[in-house]
C-alpha cells in the first residue's frame, strides 16, 4: 500500500521531517518526506498495510513536542514498489494550501544547556547553541519552506562537524537549520558606544562584568536589542531612566534563575511553570516583603516583571558576576519599534549606552518579549509576542472569510483570520509614526506570506484619523476588497465571543479611550454583541469632563477637578495642589476658567475615573506611561479593605461616577488611601457588573465578559466576577489574547468576518 500524506499546522522548523524519517524507518516503510512552500509537510510512504496504518497512528501520537498538527490529508494509492529506502528530499516550493505556519522562537532546551556547560563538548561556551527542539524560528525566517537558505542563518556555512550532525539521522541536530558552533556560527563582540570593537577574549562574560559595575549596555538577542544594567544599585537605573526619558515606567528584569527570583518576589507554582516554560515570557510577579532590588525598577508598583535567561548568551552574562538580575528592557527610541540592526543600534542608542554586545546574525522579524500575568489559575496576556507569535489561536467556529485586521493605535498588533485560525502578529506598539507603521505593514505582509492567505476583507478601527485606518483604506483599494471599520469596544467584545465560541455576550469593556459612535470618547462601556457582528451600547459610565482635552489624560488632577466641580467647590483644593501641575497657579486659573465656560469634551472612560481617584488620593499626579495612575492605584488597593461599602448609584444604566469621586474626596483626610483605592475599584466593578447583569437577564443572555486594559486590574476583575457569578451567570475573560489593545486586531477580524457573512 502507498499513502500520500499532507500535514498542516506547525510542522516545519520543529524537527518534523527527522521525526517522520525515524517513524518510517521503525515501521519498515519506503518513500520520502519534504517541506513545501505553503508550510505543509508532504509525505509519501509505501509498505505493508498494517505498517502504513501504524505510521499514521504514530504520526499524531509521537509527534515532536513543538509540533502542532492541525490537519492530516491522506490519499491511499496502489503500491508501486519504486523507492529504495526512505529519504528526506529537497524542499519543494509548491504553494497550494493556506493556514500552516512556522513556530515561534523557543528558549534554549535542557540538552543544549548541558552541552553549553560541558567542558568536553564541542559547543562548550557557544552562546547560540541550539537543536531541533530549541532556538530562534520566527525571528530568523525570511521565507518558506523552512530551509537554512530561507533564514538569516544562510550567511553561516556549516563546518564539517556541524554538517556531520546535521546529516546524521540519529543525532538531535539532524536537519536542524539553526545548527552552528563557535567555528562556523554567529559570533559575539563587544563594542564601545561609537561601535568600535573592544577587544576581549570572552566578550559575553565581560559584558556581564560591565553590567555589574554599573554600565548601561545594549545587548542584541533573538528579536532585537535590550538595554540592560544592574538591578541592586540605584545609580545605573537612574541613569538609564534619564537617558531613556522614562521617569516612572517599570523596567522588566532578567534574573539568574528561579531560586534567585524567589528571594525578591512571590512565585506561585503556576508562575514558576510559566517562568521556566520553553517560552520564557516576562511574568508580572508580586514583590515579596524581602524585595531587595532597586526601588527604581518598578517605582510605586506592587509587582515587577521578571523573566529567566532564554539563550546561551543570557546564561553566560551571569557567569562571572554576583548580580541577581539585570534590567532587560526593549531597546526602542520613544514611539519607535525595537532596534534590530547593529548600525542602527549605534546610531539610535549610542547616546544612551556605554557599550554594545553585538552578534553578527541578522534579525528577519523583530520581536519583543511577551508579558503575562497570573490571576489565580488563569493566565492573562499583557503582550503576546516572542514565544507565542505567530502560533494561531484556534476558534471554536470557523469564519467564512479571510480577513486582515490592522488593529487600533496603541499597543497594536495585526491579525490574519483564516477559517478556524487567527494568526496574530508579534507586538508592534504604538502606531503613531512612520517607522512603526512600516513595521505594522511588513509584519502583516510577512504573516500573509507565511499563511498563504489572500484577504477577502480588510478590517480596521472606526477612528477616521488613525494611521492604521488610512493604511487599511489604501490596502483595501489596492486589493479591491471591502473595508470594514469596527468600533473599538465592539472589537474587544467580539474578541471575547470568538475566544469562547459564544453567539451572544454582554461585554463590559473598560480602557482609556476608544472612538465611540458619533465620535464620542468611550472607555467604560457595557455592550450587547452577537455573532452577526452587531453590537448595541446598553450602558456605560457617566460621561465626565476632560478639562483641557488630552492634557487631562496626562495630568489626572485635571480629570479630578472636572468631576469634583460638579458636586463641590474645588478652588481651594486645586490651589493647594498647584505644585503638581506643570504651570502651577497659572494653570489652576486656566482650569477654573475652562470649567466655568463649560465647553469641555466628555469621556465615559473607566481609565480616566481611576486616574482621577489616583490624583485625589495623592497617589499619582502625572501619567508618564499608559495606565500609570491606575496601576499605582491598584498597587495601593492591593493592601486596602472595603471601608465605605457603598452601593453604586446607577440610573438608566449609567453608573454615576461623580458620587464616587466626591465621596473619596470627602474621606481623603480621614481614611487610608489604600482603603479608599480599594473602595473605588469595588464601586466601579459592581456598578458596571450591575448594569451588565440587568441587561443579560432582560435580554436572556447568560454570559457576561470583561475586556479592555482595565481587565488587567485584579481588584476590579475579582469584584466583577463575584457579582456576576452570584447572579448565576457565566463570567468570561480573555485566555489566549491580550485584554488590552493587543487583542483588538483579533476582535476586528472576527467582527468583520461575521458582518460579511450576514
> 624 with 241: CB under 8 angstroms?
no
Task: List the grid coordinates of 512.
Answer: 482609556
How far is residue 56's CA from residue 64's CA, in Å, rounded to a whole number? Answer: 14
Residues 740, 743, 746, CA angle at the centre, nearest 5°?
A: 160
Helices 556-564 and 658-667: crossing angle in degrees, nearest 10, is 100
State the DSSP code for 288. Answer: P
Check residue 695 for interaction with Zn ion (CB under 5 A).
no
Q: Does 162 bind Zn ion (CB under 5 A)?
A: yes
* Residue 525 near residue 508, CB atoms below 8 Å: yes
507 or 703: whose CB is closer to Zn ion? 507
Q: At what angle do helices 488-500 and 744-757 cross, to 10 degrees?
A: 80
Q: Which of 369, 511, 628, 675 binds Zn ion (CB under 5 A)?
A: 511
Stretch that binds Zn ion, among 50-58, 179-187, 318-326, 348-356 (CB under 5 A): 179-187
Residue 269, classified by CB atoms within 10 Å of its CB into exposed (0-12), middle (13-18) or buried (19+), is exposed
Which among 182-190, 345-353, 461-469, 724-732 is the span making contact with Zn ion, rule CB under 5 A? 182-190
For 108, phi and psi rounded to 5 degrees?
Answer: -50, 135
Kindly state whether residue 559 participates in binding Zn ion, applying the rule CB under 5 A. no
| 635/638 Cα distance (integer angstroms) | 5
Interaction between residue 461 and Zn ion (CB under 5 A)? no
Q: Which is nearer to Zn ion, 628 or 741 (CB)?
A: 741
Toward Zn ion, which CB reaches closer, 455 or 512? 512
3-state secondary structure at position 511: strand
Nearer to Zn ion, 212 or 626 (CB): 626
Q: Does 66 bind Zn ion (CB under 5 A)?
A: no
Give whichever of 83 and 278 is closer to Zn ion, judged by the CB atom: 278
Rg over CA atoms, the chain: 27
Nearer to Zn ion, 31 or 524 (CB): 524
Q: How far is the CB of 129 from Zn ion (least distance, A)?
A: 7
Q: Under rule CB under 5 A, how many of the chain's residues touch Zn ion?
A: 13
Helix (H/G/I), strand (E/B), else coil: 402? coil
- For Zn ion, the closer CB: 109 or 680: 109
Work out whether 181 is an interface residue with Zn ion (CB under 5 A): yes
Cα gap 276→648, rounded to integer Å = 43
Which residues inside 699-728 make contact with Zn ion, applying CB under 5 A?
Answer: 708
Distance CA 234, CA 289 (A): 19
**Residue 131 touching Zn ion (CB under 5 A):** yes
Residue among 339, 321, 134 nearest 219 (CA): 339
Residue 621's closest CA among 560, 710, 545, 682? 560
With respect to Zn ion, which residue has the nearer C-beta, 265 or 440? 440
Rounded Cα–Cα distance for residues 307 and 254 (Å): 5
Q: Binding mask 3-42 vs Zn ion (x if CB under 5 A, - otherwise)?
A: ----------------------------------------
59 counts as binding Zn ion under rule CB under 5 A = no
Q: What are phi and psi for residue 3, nearest 5 degrees?
A: -135, 135
Among 134, 563, 619, 660, binds Zn ion (CB under 5 A): 134
Determine what percent of the chain falls in helix, strand and coil, rounding each to the nearest 5.
35, 20, 45
Output 265 or 505, the one with its CB closest to Zn ion: 505
- Cβ closer to Zn ion: 236 or 408? 408
741 counts as binding Zn ion under rule CB under 5 A: yes
724's grid cell: 456576576
Candidate segments 161-169, 205-213, 334-342, 668-676, binder of Zn ion by CB under 5 A? 161-169
User: Please, what sign has the CA dihedral across residues 359, 177, 388, 445?
Assistant: positive
Q: In whole angstroms, how close is the CB of 402 to Zn ion at the nearest point?
A: 25
CB of 343 to Zn ion, least distance (A): 27
Stretch that binds Zn ion, among 21-29, 328-336, 506-514, 648-656 (CB under 5 A): 506-514
Q: Which is nearer to Zn ion, 184 or 483 (CB)?
A: 184
Q: Which of 305, 35, 261, 16 is nearest to 151 (CA)?
A: 35
- Closest approach of Cβ 120 to Zn ion, in Å? 17
From the list 393-401, 459-467, 507-515, 647-655, the region that binds Zn ion by CB under 5 A is 507-515
User: Which of 14, 56, 109, 211 forms a contact with Zn ion (CB under 5 A)?
Assistant: 109
**CB nearer to Zn ion: pick between 533 and 708:** 708
Q: Compute the C-alpha angle 24/26/31, nearest 5°.
A: 25
Q: Is 184 in the site for Zn ion (CB under 5 A)?
A: yes
Residue in the block written with cell 461585554: 507
Residue span binding Zn ion (CB under 5 A) among the ranges 183-191, 236-244, 328-336, 365-373: 183-191
Q: Judged by CB under 5 A, does residue 499 bind Zn ion?
A: no
**Closer to Zn ion at the Cβ: 410 or 560?**
410
Q: Which of 159-167, 240-248, 314-322, 360-368 is the region at the interface with Zn ion (rule: CB under 5 A)?
A: 159-167
Nearer CB in complex with Zn ion: 565/749: 749
Residue spans of beta strands (DSSP E) within 153-236: 188-192, 197-198, 217-220, 225-230
Q: Least separation, in Å, of the C-beta of 131 and Zn ion?
A: 3
What sign has the CA pseudo-torsion 568, 573, 578, 584? positive
- The residue from 112, 211, 331, 752 that contacts Zn ion (CB under 5 A) is 112
Residue 169, C-beta contacts closer than 8 angstroms, at least 6 positions apart: 18, 21, 22, 25
In the beta sheet, which residues pair with residue 42?
6, 34
- Site residues, Zn ion (CB under 5 A): 109, 112, 131, 133-134, 159, 162, 181, 183-184, 511, 708, 741
Amino acid at each position: 500500500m502507498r499513502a500520500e500524506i499532507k500535514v498542516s499546522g506547525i510542522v516545519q522548523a520543529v524537527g518534523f521531517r527527522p521525526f517522520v524519517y525515524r517513524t518510517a524507518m521503525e515501521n519498515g516503510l519506503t518513500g520520502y518526506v519534504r517541506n513545501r512552500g505553503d508550510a505543509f509537510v508532504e509525505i509519501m510512504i509505501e509498505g505493508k498495510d498494517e505498517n502504513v496504518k501504524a505510521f499514521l497512528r504514530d504520526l499524531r501520537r509521537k509527534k515532536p513536542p513543538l509540533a502542532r498538527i492541525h490537519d492530516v490529508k491522506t490519499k491511499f494509492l496502489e503500491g508501486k514498489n519504486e523507492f529504495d529506502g526512505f529519504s528526506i528530499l529537497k524542499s519543494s516550493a509548491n504553494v497550494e494550501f493556506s493556514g500552516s505556519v512556522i513556530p515561534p522562537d523557543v528558549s534554549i532546551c535542557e540538552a543544549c544547556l548541558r552541552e553549553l556547560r560541558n567542558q568536553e563538548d564541542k559547543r562548550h561556551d557557544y552562546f547560540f547553541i541550539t537543536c531541533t527542539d530549541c532556538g530562534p524560528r520566527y525571528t530568523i525566517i525570511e521565507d518558506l519552506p523552512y530551509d537554512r537558505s530561507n533564514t538569516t542563518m544562510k550567511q553561516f556555512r556549516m563546518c564539517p562537524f556541524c554538517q556531520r550532525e546535521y546529516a546524521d539521522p540519529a543525532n538531535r541536530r539532524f536537519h536542524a537549520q539553526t545548527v552552528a558552533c563557535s567555528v562556523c556560527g554567529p559570533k559575539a563582540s563587544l563594542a564601545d558606544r561609537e561601535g568600535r570593537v573592544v577587544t576581549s577574549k570572552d566578550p559575553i562574560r565581560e559584558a556581564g562584568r560591565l553590567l555589574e559595575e554599573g554600565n548601561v549596555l545594549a545587548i542584541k538577542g533573538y528579536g532585537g536589542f535590550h538595554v540592560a544594567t544592574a538591578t541592586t544599585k540605584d545609580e545605573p537605573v537612574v541613569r538609564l531612566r534619564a537617558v531613556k526619558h522614562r521617569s516612572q515606567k517599570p523596567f522588566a528584569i532578567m534574573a539568574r534563575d528561579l531560586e534567585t527570583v524567589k528571594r525578591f518576589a512571590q512565585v506561585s507554582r503556576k508562575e514558576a511553570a510559566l517562568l521556566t516554560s520553553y517560552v520564557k515570557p516576562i511574568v508580572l510577579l508580586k514583590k515579596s516583603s524581602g524585595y531587595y532590588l532597586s526601588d527604581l525598577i518598578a517605582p510605586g508598583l506592587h509587582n515587577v516583571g521578571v523573566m529567566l535567561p532564554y539563550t546561551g548568551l543570557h546564561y553566560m552574562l551571569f557567569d562571572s558576576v554576583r548580580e541577581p538580575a539585570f534590567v532587560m528592557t526593549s531597546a526602542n527610541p520613544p514611539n519607535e519599534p525595537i532596534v534590530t540592526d547593529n548600525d542602527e543600534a549605534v546610531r539610535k542608542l549610542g547616546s544612551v549606552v556605554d557599550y554594545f554586545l553585538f552578534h553578527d546574525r541578522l534579525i528577519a522579524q523583530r520581536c519583543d518579549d511577551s508579558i503575562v500575568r497570573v490571576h489565580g489559575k488563569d493566565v492573562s496576556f499583557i503582550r503576546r509576542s516572542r514565544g507565542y507569535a505567530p502560533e494561531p489561536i484556534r476558534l471554536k467556529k470557523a469564519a467564512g472569510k479571510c480577513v486582515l485586521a490592522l488593529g487600533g493605535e496603541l499597543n497594536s498588533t495585526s491579525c490574519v483570520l483564516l477559517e478556524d485560525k487567527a494568526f496574530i502578529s508579534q507586538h508592534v506598539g504604538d502606531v503613531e509614526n512612520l517607522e512603526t507603521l512600516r513595521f505594522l505593514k511588513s509584519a502583516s505582509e510577512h504573516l500573509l506570506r507565511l499563511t498563504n492567505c489572500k484577504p477577502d476583507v480588510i478590517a480596521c478601527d472606526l477612528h477616521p484619523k488613525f494611521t492604521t485606518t488610512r493604511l487599511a483604506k489604501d490596502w483595501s483599494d489596492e486589493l479591491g476588497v471591502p473595508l470594514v471599520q469596527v468600533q473599538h469596544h465592539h472589537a474587544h467584545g467580539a474578541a471575547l465571543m470568538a475566544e469562547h465560541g459564544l453567539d451572544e455576550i454582554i461585554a463590559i469593556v473598560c480602557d482609556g479611550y476608544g472612538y465611540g459612535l458619533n465620535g464620542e470618547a468611550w472607555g467604560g462601556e457595557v455592550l450587547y454583541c452577537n455573532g452577526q457582528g452587531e453590537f448595541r451600547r446598553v450602558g456605560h459610565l457617566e460621561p465626565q469632563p476632560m478639562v483641557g482635552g488630552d492634557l487631562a489624560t496626562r495630568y489626572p488632577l485635571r480629570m479630578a477637578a472636572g468631576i469634583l466641580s460638579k458636586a463641590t467647590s474645588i478652588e481651594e483644593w486645586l490651589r493647594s495642589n498647584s505644585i503638581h501641575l506643570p504651570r502651577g497657579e497659572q494653570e489652576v486659573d486656566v482650569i477654573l476658567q475652562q470649567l466655568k465656560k463649560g465647553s469641555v469634551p466628555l469621556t465615559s472612560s473607566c481609565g480616566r475615573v481611576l486616574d482621577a481617584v489616583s490624583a485625589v488620593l495623592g497617589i499619582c499626579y502625572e501619567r508618564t506611561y499608559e495606565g500609570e495612575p491606575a496601576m499605582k492605584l491598584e498597587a495601593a488597593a492591593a493592601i486596602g479593605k472595603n471601608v465605605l461599602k457603598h452601593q453604586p448609584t446607577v440610573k438608566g444604566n449609567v453608573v454615576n461616577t461623580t458620587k464616587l469621586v466626591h465621596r473619596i474626596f470627602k474621606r481623603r483626610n480621614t481614611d487610608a488611601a489604600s482603603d479608599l483605592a480599594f473602595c473605588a475599584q469595588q464601586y466601579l466593578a459592581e456598578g458596571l457588573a450591575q448594569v451588565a447583569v440587568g441587561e443579560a437577564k432582560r435580554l436572556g443572555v447568560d454570559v457576561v465578559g470583561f475586556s479592555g486594559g482595565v481587565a488587567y486590574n485584579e481588584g476590579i476583575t475579582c469584584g466583577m466576577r463575584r457579582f456576576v457569578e452570584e447572579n448565576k451567570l457565566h463570567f468570561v475573560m480573555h485566555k489566549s489574547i491580550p485584554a488590552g489593545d493587543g487583542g483588538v486586531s483579533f476582535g476586528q477580524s472576527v467582527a468583520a468576518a461575521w458582518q460579511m457573512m450576514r
